[in-house]
Amino acid sequence: MLNFLDVYERVLKGPLMSEQDFDIKVFIPTLRRVVKEYGIQYDKENPVPNDDAATDNLFDAAVDFLSQVGVYCQDTNRVIQFSKDEILDAVHEAPGKCFAGEGKDAGVFGMRKPDDGKTPWLHVGSGIVATSEEMITNLIEAYGSIAEVDSISISALDSIRGIPVMAGSPAEIYAAIRGVKIGREALRRAGRPGLPIMNLISTAAAAVTTIAASAPQFGLRPTDGWLVGAISEMKIDFGAMNKSAYLLNWGANVGAESSPILGGYCGGPAGTAVVSTAYILMGLLVQKGSYQLTFPVHFRYGCSTTRDVLWVVSSSCQAASRNIPMPVIWLGYMAGGPNTKSYFYEAAAHLLTAVTSGAPSVQTPHPAKAVKIDGITPMEAKFGVEMAIAASKLSREQANELVIQLLEKYESQIETAPTGSTYQECYNITTSKPGDDYLRLFNEMKDELADMGVPFA
């Protein structure tokens, strides 16, 4: 097994090249070759494909691609290279499960296969969606109060005492510490103090912020989940590696994070599916993740619910869940915001796609491309949980038919999807209850989906 220091040595000794040469002379031509040689083809008619041989072929393509391209380190301008054998060894040695949480709220986050009837690990919360300090306690308490929830993401604070939080600044450290203290306190209020927080620290641009917020007096534990992000595409830097170095020494759960971009260096859906799968391998090898968080997005629309991105999610999710024992949280960005029909259609499509494709875990689909401040409420979390449980009762074939119907409802308006309401606009801030309008829309949408064939409990 290659340990973290073995990988670090390669950061210092791998082939030297400019980042531009890596992108244009290595990444793009290798990806084009692999897509062609392995015959990876986007199937526009079937956003949730159902071909295990094609899925395993995609895994083989991803191994080949990673063994030829490697991972670029921006700080040393060197490529970390892995042989095919080393990649496959890492796959064989992967435990395929992650222990998270404490006491009665602890659980084992394990694997699922495509068409698996098992309920996925239900990860709930808003992660990168920035939230006002006044709203955050209500929001997290509500997440923790959903009985089926296995783990949560806490919101990013957009300011601290009115001072905007700037990445890598002292305000970021203040905001991270304040955020985790509020998060843990809110979970106590929900009666679930041991519930793992799995997005630490989602907005920490600097490793020092993650390390500062991990001090025990602020209430976090190694059994929470700590994110270490890759840089798109197939890159890493010392900031991320410093986080891994610290977290591995502590014995904490490292969550390797990735976001392949359809339309960027990956090109179209076929190339993006290869890279999306390769990122799961990179998470095992480089960040040394015990789990992964991934969210493929479309470069133009900024969301994960276009037909081609759904196909990428399904294909790479199947390739990973059949071949790589790494528990992955599949997250989607929706174009529509809270309190809109578009959100519900998109979220249903994304969850049907991921869950039936074998996603070990799904997270609350993020409304309004995750960029609307206070643009998330507990209602989306509740919907995500109910929808994921329902989706686990369906096959890929059934999900495919439903996703095609859902695409007909939102696909043509995705560019102009409404960003919806803020928490303050559709929730009572004092009682933390949804307004009548949103409650009515929620029930209407569930009825409509049930009529289409979604087997809600």
> Which residues, in sequence order, are bridge partners of residue 125?
153
Cα–Cα dist 136/100, whole Å: 23
E strands present in 259-341: 261-262, 291-294, 297-298, 328-330
Residue 32 CB, nearest distance to another protein (Å)? Answer: 7
Residue 171 CB coordination number (10 Å): 17
Nearest to 433 by CA among 372, 390, 382: 382
Judge residue 93's burial from the number of C-beta atoms within 10 Å of its C-beta, 0-12 exposed, 13-18 middle, 19 or more buried: exposed
Site for another protein in 20-49 (CB under 8 A): 23-24, 28, 32
> Which of 48, 80, 130, 284 contacts another protein by CB under 8 A?
130
> Which of 95, 96, 117, 164 contacts another protein by CB under 8 A?
164
> Which of 39, 95, 191, 268 contacts another protein by CB under 8 A?
268
> Which of 167, 215, 429, 452 contacts another protein by CB under 8 A?
167
> Which of 82, 246, 265, 438 contacts another protein by CB under 8 A?
265
- Residue closer to another protein (CB basis): 210 or 223: 210
Site for another protein in 243-262 (CB under 8 A): 261-262
∠ at Cα 100 (256, 361), nearest 5°?
Answer: 60
Token readout for 260 is 């392949």
Rule CB under 8 A: say whether 440 interacts with another protein.
no
Write each residue from 323 to 362 as x if it is in contact with another protein (CB under 8 A), else as -, in one continuous string: ----------------------------------------
Site for another protein in 171-190 (CB under 8 A): 172
> Which of 110, 168, 194, 325 contacts another protein by CB under 8 A?
168
Nearest to 110 by CA among 271, 321, 284: 321
CB under 8 A: which stretch of 93-101, 118-126, 165-173, 191-199 binds another protein?
165-173
Helix spans in 70-198 (H): 84-93, 133-144, 170-189
Residue 112 CB, nearest distance to another protein (Å)? Answer: 30
Write each residue from 282 to 311 as x if it is in contact with another protein (CB under 8 A), else as -, in one continuous string: -----------------xx-x---------
Cα–Cα dist 150/146, whole Å: 9
Residue 349 CB, nearest distance to another protein (Å)? Answer: 19
- Residue closer to another protein (CB basis): 206 or 391: 206
Cα–Cα dist 14/76, whole Å: 9
The length of the chain is 457
- Residue closer to another protein (CB basis): 4 or 27: 27
Query: What is the 8-class DSSP label of residue 110?
Result: -
- Residue closer to another protein (CB basis): 290 or 306: 306
Nearest to 409 by CA among 380, 355, 449: 449
Residue 354 CB, nearest distance to another protein (Å)? Answer: 21
Token match 């976001």: residue? Answer: 259
Cα–Cα dist 307/329, whole Å: 20
Residue 65 CB, nearest distance to another protein (Å)? Answer: 14
The answer to whether 180 and 137 are in contact (CB under 8 A) is: no
Instruction: State whether residue 369 is helix, strand or coil.
Output: helix
> Which of 369, 382, 396, 446 contacts another protein by CB under 8 A?
369
- Dihedral, 86, 91, 93, 96 alpha carbons, nearest 10: 160
Cα–Cα dist 13/424, whole Å: 53
> Which of 17, 88, 205, 212 contacts another protein by CB under 8 A?
205
**Total interface residues for another protein by CB under 8 A:** 39
Q: Using CB under 8 A as the criterion, which residues of the chain lie in contact with another protein when the complex forms? A: 23-24, 28, 32, 74, 128, 130, 156, 158, 164-169, 172, 203, 205-206, 231-233, 237, 239, 261-268, 271, 299-300, 302, 369, 371, 373
